[in-house]
Structure formats: structure tokens, C-alpha cells
Amino acid sequence: MMDMNKNSYLDNSATTPLASEVLEAMSPFFQSHYGNASSLHSAGRKAHQVVEESRNTIAGHLNIHPNEIVFTSGATEADNLALIGTALRSKNGGHLITSKIEHDAVLHSSEWLATQGYDVTFLEVDEFGRVDPDEVREAIRPDTLLVSIMAGNNEVGTIQPIREIGEICKEHEIPFHTDAVQAYGKIDLPMDVIDMLSVSAHKLHGPKGVGFLYVRKGIKLTPLLHGGGHERGRRSGTENVPGIVGLGAATQLAFEEREQVTRRMNGFREHLIEEVLKLPGTRLNGHVTESLPHIANFSFEAIEGESLIMKLDEHHIAASTGSACSSPNLEPSHVLVALGIPLSMAHGSLRISTGRQTEAPEIEALLKALPLVVKELRDMSPFKVGG
Amino acid sequence: MYTEKVIDHFREPHNRGKMDDYSAIGKVGNIVCGDVMWLYIKVDKDEAGRDIITDISWETFGCTAAIATSSMVSDLAKGKTVEEAIAVTNQDVASELGGLPPVKMHCSAMAADALNEAIHCYMVQEGKEIPEALQKRHARIEKEIAALEKRYAAFMDKGDKKKE
């Protein structure tokens, strides 16, 4: 039986709870094995050893070489390192290609580079949020330094045609980076055409504050952090040993359970789409099938998203919105705007995202509360649905 | 980020809903964020012949702060004379709620503007002389909305235009 007071945590794209297995793997490295991985003594060697084990675990699952992994403080740093680290190798400026629906870590790094004398092309997406590989091909110039297109979108869940884009980049000998924060451990990644890939641990039941950038052998980056020359000179700073161990354990768990977890997530997603779209004045944002399994994004006519989130919170349901009112700059989500969703609908968006721990009663609690909350807010609104 | 009072008004807003026999209506929109508010007032004369806001209600499409400020402005204006209600400012609305996050202060402005517009509408209807301060605020509100509509023309769609 479901505990009526149990919370429905349906905001797993924001962050996920740490898995017990991950916590257990990490815990010795705070107080028992606290050595610095650079130290010569046995405590240091132990720390070094587990960092390398974690590196090997990840490399094994991605079928890459362990030395191609650079541990970072998370995906924001990994994205910055990929873009800015690539751009800074070119002394005379150059050109980068990305899309309008990237995570802010890629978008704002690109925008910053544009202020530093680099040219950036921000590709449009279609109504489902997909980049057209032909547009990537057309945007390539002789001075193009990098193409960066995310693997799966964090707001609407749309999966990008990264194999096609990667092949085009390979053909033109241009490095291809992908932000795989939401996709890692959930869908197949075509590593043979990906040159750089960003990952964060906390989106997959690992700890916050750790991630990695995969950098294919032969790709040169200018480091952003200078110091003791850690990570083969690519990222200085004492290794976050418990974090890296957690990242390895979370990766192991995600890949082990992938089939079973994503099957359950897909089931939740299909059920959500079917039920939510029965409510009048609703739409699905993103793609019905070409989507990550854990994200479903809806819009509700005549409803503002922040109010919706706060009303759901009263029902102990945690979700998120791309509404302008919820953002610090009062602008609607750049992703929903890029999909061409009318402003009034972008205002009433709701993102539901599940995790490995999500259970059916949490989804049912949402589906029970949603019609009530939607009606309550619509009754308050001067706009009438469909009228 | 929100005070308990804001949350209370959001959870159980006062005077919400449409009014059929209203004396005047104030329609305002905040196109910075996309919120829209309609405020209805019912004005009756008391024994002394003064214009009293005897009933007030609102419909708001907006965030937590927009709904809470709608509720609060209606509380502040209800039972007041029209002249007293003109003096209600966005600062009054915000401070009665125990403050608002800086980014949400424009919501309190929207609520005070809606009251202003409803009163302006009432006075024009009644052929009353419009106080200079009220006329000034009305001109500013009109100008802001026109400017914002122009600025966000690309984003405007049918749903948003309904407020006109």
C-alpha cells in the first residue's frame, strides 16, 4: 500500500537521490582511506588505486581508454573545458557550432566565447527539438574548431541524431563534443563518432560535485585549471576521491540495471503521456518516441508553471517548469522558445522526470493531483481554455 | 524565497473569481514575465454619499507572487472609499505580504496597477474628474503595456492578446 504522505519526487532531471550502493562504496574514503591520490605513502596509493578503478569501470562501459577520462567537478566544468579548452588552442579565433537548446553550461560558454573573438553558430531545432544533421554540415566552415550538440535534452527529453552529426564531423575532421548528462546510462552512445563527452554523477544517483569529460586520444585542450598537473595535466586539483568512487559506482549500477530501469521509465512515460493528454488544453513538448525514457514535458493552457509547481508541492509532488516566472531573468525556457511553442503555452510547462527509485504510486499521486490543481488554477485565470 | 504570508495567500486566495455585476474592471498584463490580471470592483454609495468599494474580485494568470499580490490588493481595497483605494501602492501590497523576492516585485506593481486601472475605469464611466496622480499612473501603465507589447511582438500569440 502506498503511504499517503509519501512524497512523489518527479524531478530527477534536476538531481537524483544517492543510491545506497553508491553511498556504501564512497563512505570509506572520507574517514578511513582519506589519502591524497598524489601522495607516495600507502594511504595515497590506496586513494590513487580507487580513482583508477573508477576510471577503468567507466572506460569499460563506454569502451574507451581509461586515460581518455578527465575527472571534473561536474558537467558544467566538463562542458566549459570542452568548449573553452578547444577554442583557446586556436590563437586566431575560429568558429564553433552548437544548438539553441543546449544546457546553459554549453550555451553560456559559447556566448562567452563569442565575446572573445570567436564566431558561434547556434543551430535551430524543429518543433520536436531536433537538430537537422544537414544544417550541421552546412554550418561547417574551414575555421570550424568544434561542434557541440547535446545527446538528449534536459527539459523536453528529445534525443539528438548524434550518430549522424558525429559522422559528418568525422568526415570533415572536426572534433565533436556532446553533453550526455541526461543520456549517460540511459541510451546507447555512439562512442566511435564522439570525440568529447560530458557526464555528471548526480543525475544518475551518484554524488553532486563530480563528473568527467571524455577526451579522445589525440584531442588537445588548453586546461582551465592550473596547478599540480593532475589528470595528466588536463585538470589540476586534488582528486575528489569519494566523489570519483561514487561516480564509478553510479556508472556501474546504471549500466547493470539499464535495461530494467529504462523499461520501467518508458512505461511511466507512456502512461503519463496517455493520461495527461486526456486533460483539456494540454500538449506534450518534445518527441513522443525519440526521447530519453525519464523525461516528459507538458504544457497547460491558461496556467503559469511556477504556480503549478507550488500547487503540486502542496500535494507533496516535486516537479519543475520552464516558465518565465520561475527563472531568475524572467525569460521563458530557451528550449521551449526554440521549439516554437507559443509564449502562453511555454508559460505553463511542467517537466516530469523519473529515476531508478520512482514507483508507480508516485506517478498515480501526480495523476490524481494534476486535474485538481489544473482546475483550481484555471478557475483563477482570466483566460478560458479553448475559448 | 516566499514568506509564509505569501504562501498562505497563494494557498487560499481571498476574493478570487469573476464578478458579474461589477461597476468597473481593470485589465493589466505584465509582459516582462507574461502574467495577466483582471480586477473587478463594485462601487456603492454609503449614507454620507461617498463611493465605497463594497466588493472586489480578480482573475489572475500568473505565478505564486502574482496570485498572492492579487489576493492582498483585494483585501487592501475592499471597504475603502475610492479615494482611499487610489492611495494603495505596490509597496503597501508587498509589505503587507511580509516582502517579496526582488525579482518578484513587479508582481506587486501589477496588482496595484490593476486596482488603479479599475478605479480609473470607474471614474471615467461616472464622468468624474480624474485626480492628476491617477491619470499619470494610467498614462504610465498604458505606455508600458504598449511598449512591452511592441517589444515582445514576436512572442505574442492569440492567448496573450486576449487581455486587450
Q: Do B34 and A380 touch (CB under 8 A)?
A: no
Model confidence, pTM? 0.91
According to the CATH classification, is domain A8-16+258-380 in 3.90.1150.10?
yes
Collect all residues of chain A within an 8 Å Cβ-Cβ radius of residue B10.
307, 310
Which residue does chain B place closest to A347, by CA atoms? Answer: B34
Which residues, in sequence order, are bridge partners of residue A28? none
| CATH (one of 3.90.1010.10, 3.30.70.920, 3.50.50.60, 3.40.50.300) for B4-154 | 3.90.1010.10
Collect all residues of chain B within an 8 Å Cβ-Cβ radius of residue A380.
13, 16-17, 59-61, 67
Q: Do A306 and B63 touch (CB under 8 A)?
A: yes
Q: Do A303 and B61 touch (CB under 8 A)?
A: yes
B63-116 pLDDT, tens digit each: 999 999 999 999 999 999 999 999 999 999 999 999 999 888 888 999 999 999
Domain boundaries along the sequence of chain A: 8-16+258-380, 20-253
- The alpha helices in A132-239, defined as continuous H runs, are 133-139, 162-171
B107 labelled catalytic: yes
A199-217 pLDDT, tens digit each: 999 999 999 999 999 999 9
Neighbours of A86 (CB within 10 A): 24
Which CATH code fits A20-253? Answer: 3.40.640.10
A212-254 pLDDT, tens digit each: 999 999 999 999 999 999 999 999 999 999 999 999 999 999 9
A170-196 pLDDT, tens digit each: 999 999 999 999 999 999 999 999 999
Active-site residue (options: A325, A343, A372, A380) = A325
ipTM of predicted complex: 0.85
Domain boundaries along the sequence of chain B: 4-154
pLDDT value at residue B154: 46
Q: Dihedral angle at the C-alpha atoms of A77, A13, A125, A159, nearest 10 degrees? A: 100
Helix B64-77 with A305-314: angle, nearest 10 deg: 90
A106-160 pLDDT, tens digit each: 999 999 999 999 999 999 999 999 999 999 999 999 999 999 999 999 999 999 9
Tell me the CA distances in angstroms from A186 to A48, A110, A320, one per residue in order.
29, 27, 21
> In this structure, are strands A176-179 and A196-200 parallel, antiparallel, or unpaired?
parallel
